[in-house]
Amino acid sequence: MADLSINLGGIKSPNPFWLASAPPTNSGYQVQRAFEAGWGGAVWKTLGDPILNVSSRFAAVSFNGQRVAGFNNIELITDRPLEVNLKEIYETKKRFPNHAIIASLMVEPKRHKWHEIVKRVQGVGVDGFELNFGCPHGMAERGMGSASGQVPELVEKQTFWVKEVAEVPVIVKLTPNITDITVTAQAAVNGGADAISMINTINSLAGVDLDTWNTIPHVGGKGAHGGYCGPAVKPIALNMVGECARNPYINVPISGIGGVSNWQDAAEFLLMGATGVQVCTAAMHHGFSIVEDMIDGLNNYLDEKGIASVMDIVGKTVPKYSEWGDLDLNYKVVAKINNDVCINCNKCHIACEDTSHQCIDMLVGANGKPMLKVREEDCVGCNLCSIVCPVDGAIEMVKLKNTLPSMTWNQRQEMMERYAVNRIAR
């Protein structure tokens, strides 16, 4: 049995699976049930001045029968008085002293506001704070959430204000609704953050009803943008985690958020540099019990690899994540079709012929039956055929023996400069 416990910037947790600040962590009843189910930590639904919500708050995007491929919400932070939340946090912590309870906070970007809420909340024994600089709807219109999270100076300043009075670790939750998340991540570090978490939800509109022309969701015929999460956002989140993890100026732990639905997703985030993960949509879709499979799966994965602690895989993929200009232009893979497995659906041929490099031929085999064959010399190794192929094992991308030594774009450009006209003129 591998050791699944983590230490994220001073916050200890029996396993890396936390519930994200969201509807599943709205109350003590829910968080205690989550801990009973096995979750290692919970980020309490954001505390602040109690808000007013609208009815009809969630919407989901299904894709080809996959329910909740993406999830959209326009719900705001807690609508309950601070005293009620604090009482339930205290009771929950008392019952589960070894589980991590992190209080998500959001107030106006004013020093006294941050000091007030931090002092009041830490009194009940939370293990850490998460500053919500990411919520993209509703609160942002009031200058909070992503509105302040998109301004590096405000991220740094507010983090600093919190650190002035916080006695427990401070995580800064970042918005993906920004061109370069490493800029705001660095601002958080400069402000004294003990850790960062990402990503909050992405500005979104789930859809439009073609009969009524209403937005989805709509509130009495009117809609507003929401925040998008769920499996569809995982690649975006994974990149942002990786970009921060490999940035030498962002030297604090990362809590990974964004479409984590199973132990494999969690392991990917850990390998990409996250010390733990936060989950929301998968729990909303399937319930708290999904954490059982997450724990078992991650534990078995570590055991099979002979790894004693989950902390030992954190960031192992980061050195492999680089700039495009550092990739080898002479590395080459080509598609190989296994005709014993291929069902001749021709999807690879159509994809290649219509949208790629026209290198899969439809032939007739010696047995008189149709067969597909890749002209390797014309294959650029784009992977498209293997992506669209519906049969596992029918198309394999095979690495060719290098005929040319490695050359990156950056090396090429440096070398080409020697032969440039203007250089010779000089």
Partner 1 sequence: MSEYIEFQAEKRKIDGYFEDGYEISIITEDLSGMHIEFASPFAADREKVKLLLTTPEARKYIATRLLYPQVMY
Residues that bind partner 1 (CB under 8 A): 329-330, 357, 375, 377-378, 404-405, 407, 411-412, 415-416, 419-421, 424
CB of 404 to partner 1, least distance (A): 5
Active site residue 135: yes
Distance CA 186, CA 193 (A): 9
Among residues 100, 41, 68, 132, which one has the least CA distance to residue 284? Answer: 68
- Residue 213: count other Cβ atoms within 10 Å of its Cβ: 9
Nearer to partner 1, 340 or 377 (CB): 377
CB of 328 to partner 1, least distance (A): 10
Residue 395 tokens, joined: 């198309």
Residue 355 tokens, joined: 């949208």
CB of 350 to partner 1, least distance (A): 19
Nearer to partner 1, 98 or 330 (CB): 330
CB of 198 to partner 1, least distance (A): 36
The DSSP 8-state label assigned to residue 267 in this structure reads H
Helix extents (H) in 272-419: 281-286, 290-304, 347-355, 384-388, 409-416
Nearer to partner 1, 178 or 351 (CB): 351
Annotated catalytic residue, options 135, 348, 359, 379: 135
Distance CA 218, CA 356 (A): 40
> What is the amino acid identity at position 200?
N
CB of 322 to partner 1, least distance (A): 19
Contacts of 401 (CB under 8 A, 6+ apart): none
Among residues 119, 128, 94, which one has the least CA distance to residue 12? Answer: 128
CB of 332 to partner 1, least distance (A): 10
Q: Are 43 and 21 in contact (CB under 8 A)?
A: yes
Distance CA 263, CA 15 (A): 12
Helix, strand, coil in percent for the chain, rounding step 5? 35, 25, 40
Cα-flanking dihedrals φ and ψ of residue 265, to 5°? -60, -45
**Rg (Cα) of the chain, in Å, rounded?**
25
Q: Which residues are catalytic?
A: 135
